[in-house]
């Protein structure tokens, strides 16, 4: 998992490393982080994940929602 803010990956090239080697295995992932001071104005923030082989799936539904939050303090 990684957070991209304006084209800069906050957790480096590989992001936060998690290894899932079992096909069809679903797991809840949660993480938090902070960034340096951003310039005033709007910013594009994207959640990313890296797949080294085959595919990766982000599952969300009415029963299993996806939630992303960003705050300015």
* pLDDT at position 64: 74
Beta pairing, strands 2-5 & 8-9: antiparallel
Average pLDDT along the chain, 73 residues, taken 10 residues at a time = 89 77 70 84 86 72 78 77
DSSP states along the chain:
-EEEETTEETTTTT-S-----STT------------PPPSS---EEEE---SSS-------SSS---------
């Amino acid at each position: 998992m990684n957070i991209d803010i304006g084209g800069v990956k906050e957790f480096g090239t590989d992001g936060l490393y998690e290894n899932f080697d079992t096909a069809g295995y679903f797991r809840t992932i949660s993480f938090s982080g902070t960034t340096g001071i951003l310039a005033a104005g709007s910013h594009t923030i994207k959640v990313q994940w890296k797949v080294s082989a085959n595919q990766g799936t982000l599952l969300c539904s009415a029963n299993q929602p996806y939630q992303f939050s960003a705050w300015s303090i």
